[in-house]
Structure 1
Amino acid sequence: MLASLFGTGSFRVFLKAKNLLQVAIKKSSHIQNSAVANKSGTMAEVKKEMLKRFGLQPGYIREPKSREKLLEFQPKMEDLPARSMQDSFTYAIIPLSTDPVLQDMYINFMGFVRLGRLLEDMDFFAAWCCHQHLKLPNLPEGVPLPYSIVTILVDRIDFTNVQASGTQDIRLSGHVSWVGTSSMEVVVWLEQMVDEEYQKLTRALFLMGARNATNTGAAPVNPIQPANEEEQVILAGGADRKKQRQVLSAQSVFKVEPNAQEESLMYDLYKRTTPRHTLELNKRILPPNCRWMEDSFQMSTILSFPEHRNNHNRVFGGFLMRSALEISWTAAFLFCKSRPKLKHISDVSFVKPISVDSFIRMTAYVVYTKLNCIQIMTVADVLDAHTGNQVTTNVFNYTFSAPDTVSEVLPRSYNETMWYIHGRRKFKASRDLNS
């Protein structure tokens, strides 16, 4: 049970966060229905407008224009007026029904939309919602926005059973749902027209960071003043989700030792994979219908290019999310030997920015399986081609479902056992939140 997983006190916090999150999801859709949305046009127009606001031009420049002079225009917290969630609520369209070139970019061979492409757009759109929230009354007309907006993490993304067509328009909508002193939580929906009615494809929570014009320090953001009771509930949920993230981070298996139940599980794994009635202590056996974790991974090394950069001349977080999802889906497909369905994404962390001339190694590990579900942990490492050093910059966690029951994956080393425990936690948490 999750109570034994987190501890009694932490479990109470988890349940409270879960309940508030579920309420916030329902209430946030009220904003979508009751507020007058700010139509932002197509996603291509959104990207063009964001460049304009940052004072940037299309095209690659090896030495980007310095933004240091914009530091003098960074506001103080007391200069920023409060904003409601309705102020940042906006929507944009991916016009797949009328743009054949765009269709080629988004469609897979079965005629559905590539989810990785949608993740790219959602990341970009979350930043756009932050632009809608920010209001600087003292910024002179014509001066670019003295901010940099970066993705800190993706809290969770849940997928419905609606399969997105590659030839029908998709609508993104969202708003800022919570703010700290320099961070903004953004909720984003994806919908597609099905039988003359928009059907929800997915919903995501992004945590975005406001940085100064040169991306060298934090920048203040407008506080939120809820416009109604619904917004008050959503704001409370955002604050509670922040506390829950802190609890889960502090209790990560990579930081503290496993709990008593998990230690018992580890011993059971050892007994199941060690021969009985033998003194060959170094020998391991694989039980029936099981696979070793060390044989259940896929790896790809990516050379990033300027087309993958964001507005701050670093590798775009959405590109990393797309690349990680595609290799994770491949790993799940090859593991279960049938087309898996993406059910949940959790805790996508962006630890360090990546230069656009980097080599990026993506490794997708099958770390836990249960019945027809597959838990994937994908790690992004930046490789230094000259020294051979590598630094982990991102970790992604995915839950897939297969048409049939899959083989059980088992660890051999202690390191893999920690991955197994980590994957088990992520799987149980995603199942509990969706129950």
Structure 2
Amino acid sequence: MRRKLDNSRRDATRFPEGNLPKAPSASSLCIELPLGSDPELRDQYLSWRGSVRLGRLLEDADAFAGTVAFLHCDDALSHTAPQRLVTASIDRIDMRRPVPVEDLAMCGNVTWAGRSSLRVSMSLGPRSKAASSSTSRPMEDPVLTASFVFVAVDEQGKATPVNPLTPTNDAEQARFDAAAAAAQTRRSERSSSLERTAPRSDEAALIHQLLMADGWGDSRTHGDGGAAGSPGIAAAAAAAEAAAAAAAAKASGPAGGEVECSATGPIQLRSTVVTTNTLTQPQERNTAGKVFGGFLCRKAFEVAHSAASLFALRSGVDCVPLLVAADNITFDRPVEVGRLLTFSASVVYTGASADSGDGGPQRADAWPTEGQLCQVRAETTVLDMSSGARSTSNTFQFTFLCSPRQSRSAIAGGASRVPGVDASGIPDASLGAELLAVRPETYPDAMLFLDGRRRLRASVDIGRTIDSSLVPPRA
């Protein structure tokens, strides 16, 4: 649809002026994703477990939201060029329940517009629950909800006006006000982020407690870390590396041998890092000729999922990490085709990282199963192959729930039995698995730890307010 409109405006000489007020219904869109009834399509979306690859759906969601934003900005004039839109951020993604292997639909519309930016709200759910594409009503009983922020720019990357949004009823006005409040909340969070302000007094006390518990303040442990007393950071890091090496050696042993990769105590944050590299190709470009943001999101999610899986294995749990939420995914700068990308992810906080610093009881208002949750931070680094310059283009924040694998019946669609999947192709989220704690080693690691702590607890609080079977209820 977008390509057809682009081709029809190829000779346009004017640019949109952003002065055409539109109702939310003007950008309302629903598309079908027949995973249940189309075997060929389903094969493109299934993981090796037989469940739906969420990274593929996140990639689709970004493309879908971009099309919704395009509909709002389009003035339907043949002599006007299409608006150039870039994804500024994925404000939030919340999973209500695992994605079933059945016919699905994506529905959404613009819920707020400012001078040069706009917010798109979208939902993914059963096709039978999808609203008509001519209405801006939210989907009933969605599996996933998400909010995207787009900015209109000219060829030089400077912000340009977008069409105003005019709600036509109380429900649309309520969603407009909620989206405006969410934008203000994000601005406040950025101003009080740990990149700009010092930790709160309770957070500083927690970090002091954690580092001192590792012997950070003991001068006898600085050096080779082999002195008596507290083990010290260097010794703890060496022990973590030795444990990882031993696990790897055992894993490469004779076939049929039992692989034991579990640790016995807190895992150092820096030892949880997982990286992968890829060279961007023309097939990944968007309509502006840059690398498609959905592609970056999919790759980042996949490496984050790997980091969560390996961390669970080190915790002694063979689990399926289920996405609970993605929080404030930022797109700081566009990525050119032909760049080498490094995707890195690390577990920065778990619910088991108790405030006592010693694995003791969690805070009184925490879920009894908060130890099943982990916060993963992913980052995209871009290398210019010609100049050697390196920069960070994206950061991603994912909250995962660790759900142990269980042997289940066959998935929908007639596939063979797949471990860890029930009759609908869904990992069982009702079973709990406790993860080990994460411990920072340095002050920068400590800031990542605290930021992850804030985000995981925000996901917990939001999860309590929505109808979600992914997360356990308060005791």
Task: Decide which of 167, 175, 188 is 1:247's aligned counterpart.
Answer: 188
Q: Contact 2:98–2:322 at 8 Å: present in 1 too?
A: no
Q: Contact 2:329–2:394 at 8 Å: present in 1 too?
A: yes
Deviation at 1:81, TM superposition (A): 2.6
| Equivalence for 2:214 | 273
Change (3 A) 1:103 1:144: farther
Structure 2 CA distance, aligned partners of 1:301 and 1:430? 29
Q: Deviation per CA, 1:34-70, whole angstroms, max 9, x where unpaired?
A: xxxxxxxxxxxxxxx111212289xxxxxxxxx7x74
Structure 2 CA distance, aligned partners of 1:130 and 1:164? 27
| Equivalence for 1:154 | 90
Change (3 A) 1:145 1:263: same
SS at the partner of 1:407? coil
Q: Deviation per CA, 1:322-377, whole angstroms, max 9, x where unpaired?
A: 00001100110011022211111001000000011111100001100111111000
Q: Contact 2:106–2:123 at 8 Å: present in 1 too?
A: yes
Q: Contact 1:129–1:175 at 8 Å: present in 2 too?
A: yes
Change (3 A) 1:194 1:50: closer
> Which structure is larger by alpha-carbon Rg, 1 or 2?
2
Give the aligned length.
Answer: 368
Deviation at 1:387, TM superposition (A): 4.4
Structure 1 CA distance, aligned partners of 2:390 and 2:304? 20
SS at the partner of 1:402? strand
Deviation at 1:74, TM superposition (A): 1.7
Letter in 2 for 1:363: S
Q: Contact 1:344–1:399 at 8 Å: present in 2 too?
A: yes
2:7 is the counterpart of 1:55: yes
Deviation at 1:232, TM superposition (A): 1.1
Letter in 1 for 2:91: D
Change (3 A) 1:192 1:110: farther
- The two structures, once aligned, show a CA RMSD in angstroms of 2.4
| Equivalence for 2:443 | 414
| Equivalence for 2:364 | none
| Equivalence for 1:291 | 267
Structure 2 CA distance, aligned partners of 1:425 and 1:302? 31
Change (3 A) 1:271 1:56: farther
SS at the partner of 1:220? coil
**1:34-49 equivalent positions in 2, closer than 5 A:** 49=1
Q: Contact 1:364–1:378 at 8 Å: present in 2 too?
A: yes
Q: Contact 1:301–1:362 at 8 Å: present in 2 too?
A: yes
| Equivalence for 1:401 | 401
Q: Contact 2:16–2:80 at 8 Å: present in 1 too?
A: no
**1:36-435 equivalent positions in 2, closer than 5 A:** 49-55=1-7, 70=12, 72-77=13-18, 80-136=19-75, 139=77, 141=78, 143=79, 145-165=81-101, 168-193=102-127, 199-212=141-154, 214=155, 216-274=157-215, 279-281=220-222, 283=225, 284=232, 286=236, 289-337=265-313, 338-370=319-351, 371-403=371-403, 404-435=433-464
Q: Contact 1:162–1:200 at 8 Å: present in 2 too?
A: no
Structure 2 CA distance, aligned partners of 1:131 and 1:398? 27
Change (3 A) 1:153 1:238: same
Which stretch of structure 1 is more off in the superposition, 104-113 or 371-380? 104-113
So what's the TM-score if we normalise by structure 1? 0.79
Q: Deviation per CA, 1:248-269, whole angstroms, max 9, x where unpaired?
A: 0111111222121111111011
Structure 2 CA distance, aligned partners of 1:171 and 1:400? 24
Q: Percent identity?
A: 30
Letter in 1 for 2:321: P
Structure 1 CA distance, aligned partners of 2:128 and 2:30? 18
Deviation at 1:288, TM superposition (A): 5.2
Letter in 2 for 1:237: A
| Equivalence for 2:240 | none
Which segments of 5 or more consecutive residues in structure 1 lack a partner in the other structure? 1-48, 58-66
Change (3 A) 1:76 1:278: closer
Q: Contact 2:90–2:330 at 8 Å: present in 1 too?
A: yes
Structure 2 CA distance, aligned partners of 1:297 and 1:104? 30
Deviation at 1:134, TM superposition (A): 2.4
Q: Deviation per CA, 1:119-146, whole angstroms, max 9, x where unpaired?
A: 1111011111112222426x2x3x4643
The structure with the greater share of residues assigned to helix is: 1
SS at the partner of 2:451? helix
Structure 2 CA distance, aligned partners of 1:416 and 1:428? 18
Letter in 1 for 2:162: V
So what's the TM-score if we normalise by structure 2? 0.73
Structure 1 CA distance, aligned partners of 2:200 and 2:213? 20
Deviation at 1:237, TM superposition (A): 0.9
